[in-house]
Amino acid sequence: MKKILITGAGSYIGTSFEKYINENYAESYRVDVVDMIDGTWREKSFAGYDAVFHVAGIAHSDNGKISAEKEKLYRSVNTDLTVETAKKAKADGVGQFIFMSSAIVYGASGRIGRRKIITRDTPTSPANCYGDSKLQAERGILPLSDDRFKVCVLRPPMIYGKGSRGNFPQLEKFATKLPFFPFVKNERSMLYIGNLVEFVRLMIENGEEGIFFPQNAEYSNTSELVKMIAEANGKKIRIVKGFGWLLKIFGLFSGTVNKAFGNLAYEKEMSEYKTEYRKYDLKESIAETERR
């Protein structure tokens, strides 16, 4: 039986992973969780764990310029805490450290109408403090990897599922409240939580190291996604063409608009893995997310 320690209590991803393992693989894995807020985790020995799954972090919830205090918090939690935790895991004899980074290390979404496909050769270029805090954490922990300590970094795109936070709940509101929604032609990589938790399990099972880019098998289109959500809730919504020019204008002044309607996708080959981890296609994942 492999022992896994989740560092970061109460996170959406960590809680979802713990539930998935306990419901499906309880005979093969044991999952424990440690809270990282009050500092008492430093007194806990990580010895005996095969893997540490680090999910503690400050989520990106800012648009535009942030205060010096908030920037310091991003650095302290997303970067410094991650590096400190990884070093402790290595010192205590843990075999693997898995870190939840983000596609945000490649910068903001491409503007509406401009395709943005990330490849393995695309250089990292964070557009904000949050993205840079994740990238600096990566740079602090990857050199720790060796024959006895494997560092595994995940750079997922937008993660969604029942109870998720971030942009997806906003799309749900649009889908269930509006009679119509503008059509936009875009491509976005997304990752359903049910696919992510299986991917993490495989990373642990196979003792992987390096940087990985899990995503759904299909790209998402914002307009079609909203329509799928509406249908899953028994609602009808009209997708109306002719507003693209207006969205492009708004996108010149608002990063939020580009985040919703712009383009940001991983090249699909980057996300292939030797074992299939995508248990749900896009339509199935929306149905599961909206299931009451």
Which of 218, 158, 222 is CA-nearest to residue 184?
Answer: 222
Q: How much is the mean pLDDT over the chain?
A: 90
DSSP sequence for 225-249:
HHHHHHHHTT---EEE-S-HHHHHH
Instruction: Work out the pLDDT band at 5, boundaries 50, 70, 90.
Output: very high
- pLDDT tens across 223-277, in order? 999 999 999 999 999 998 855 544 544 444 344 555 667 789 999 999 999 999 9
Q: How many CB atoms lie within 10 A of CB 48?
A: 10
Compute the Cα dihedral for 147, 149, 155, 161 and give only its sign: positive
From residue 263, alpha-carbon distances to 59, 96, 117, 212, 219 in Å are 21, 34, 8, 20, 10
pTM of the model: 0.92
Q: Which CATH architecture has domain 2-165+191-217+266-280?
A: 3-Layer(aba) Sandwich (3.40)
pLDDT tens, residue by residue, 130-143: 999 999 999 999 99
- The domain limits of the chain are 2-165+191-217+266-280
Beta bridge partners of 97: 52, 151
User: Has residue 61 got a pLDDT over 50?
Assistant: yes
